[in-house]
Amino acid sequence: MAALGEERLKTLLGTCKVESHARGEHLFRAGDVAEYFYILLSGHLRLVKTSSQGDETVMHFLTEAGSFAEAVSFAGRSYPVECQVVENCEIVAIPRTAYLGILKSAPDVVGDVLASLLRWERFFLEEIYKLRHTRPIQRIAAFLIDFEDRNGAAIDGTSGKNFPDKRQIASRIGITPETFSRSLRKLEASGAISAGPKLQILDREALLELAH
């Protein structure tokens, strides 16, 4: 956004909406035309893909400030996933038409836009690699470390910031609930985590070692 310059940014902001959404709401649903992309200011969202049989797969958790849904919006297509509000959130909704109109008058910033899109491409390539080449216990350990890092502080039962539901984590990292439970027991036996009602990292160094 900064690459747009002050005047263009002011013009764009005049077309944007700042919205607050409560836990349980949907920001958008699969099949909705992607008229907007978004910036998460605060809160916690998750992107979910639902099969024709009604089975949900968590594609990604959004917990830190940043933009999302740019690629599908720029392409003028429908959202392929639904966006669910996990914790009350505040977002900026940016109209596709307004942003593309500004880009047409500012070809010098297209490179920055492409860099943002490539960031998501690299993320999903890394996810595919993990699914193919890492063991379930590695995926769980890496997820817990990454989630804690992205939330900026240690997560425990008293901090007010909890890990997602265990079923959601299993779905997100692509393993069955049964395998997830077995792997959690191994991690708990190692002393790296507490797998009680709320997941808690007890030994970060041990968990880091298990993640690699």
For the chain, give the mean pLDDT: 84
Residue ranges of E strands in 22-124: 26-28, 36-50, 56-62, 66-68, 82-95
Closest CA to 169 of 140, 133, 202: 140
pLDDT of residue 159: 46
pLDDT of residue 117: 67
- pLDDT score of 164 more than 80: yes
pLDDT of residue 41: 93
Higher pLDDT residue, 128 or 83?
Answer: 83
Report the pLDDT averaged over residues 63-69.
88
Q: Per the structure block, which two tokens stand in for 17?
A: 């909406």
Name the residue with tokens 């890492």: 134
Name the residue with tokens 């594609």: 59
The domain made up of 2-112 is a member of CATH 1.10.357.10: no
Answer yes or no: are the C-beta atoms of 28 and 62 closer than 8 Å: no
Q: What residues form DSSP beta bridges with 205?
A: none
How are beta strands 56-62 and 36-50 bridged, if at all? antiparallel
CATH class label, 134-211: mainly alpha
Higher pLDDT residue, 152 or 177?
Answer: 177
Closest CA to 131 of 88, 170, 84, 167: 170
Residue 172 CA to its chain's centroid (Å): 10
Report the pLDDT averaged over residues 171-177.
87
- pLDDT score of 33 more than 90: yes
Q: Per the structure block, which two tokens stand in for 165?
A: 């539901």
Answer yes or no: are the C-beta atoms of 185 and 175 closer than 8 Å: no
Higher pLDDT residue, 130 or 39?
Answer: 39
pLDDT of residue 3: 58
Give the rounded percent of residues in the chain with a pLDDT score beyond 70.
85
Domain positions in the chain: 2-112, 134-211
Rounded to two decimals, the pTM is: 0.66
- pLDDT score of 182 more than 80: yes
Q: Do 2-112 and 134-211 agree at the fold level?
A: no
Query: 161: burial class by Cβ within 10 Å (0-12, 13-18, 19+)?
Result: middle
Answer yes or no: are the C-beta atoms of 59 and 172 closer than 8 Å: yes
Region of poorest pLDDT, from 46-50, 108-112, 133-137, 190-194:
108-112
Q: Per the structure block, which two tokens stand in for 91?
A: 């977002």
Question: Model confidence over 121-152: pLDDT tens digits?
Answer: 676 667 777 777 789 999 999 999 988 887 76
Give the whole-angstrom CA distance, residue 10 versus residue 13.
Answer: 5
Phi, psi of 26 (to 5 degrees): -115, 130
101 pLDDT band, cuts 50/70/90, is: confident
Closest CA to 93 of 16, 13, 21, 32: 16
Count the alpha carbons within 13 Å of 177 in the hemisphere toward its beta carbon: 5
pLDDT of residue 97: 92
Give the whole-angstrom CA distance, residue 68 versus residue 116.
Answer: 9
Name the residue with tokens 């392409």: 75
pLDDT of residue 91: 95
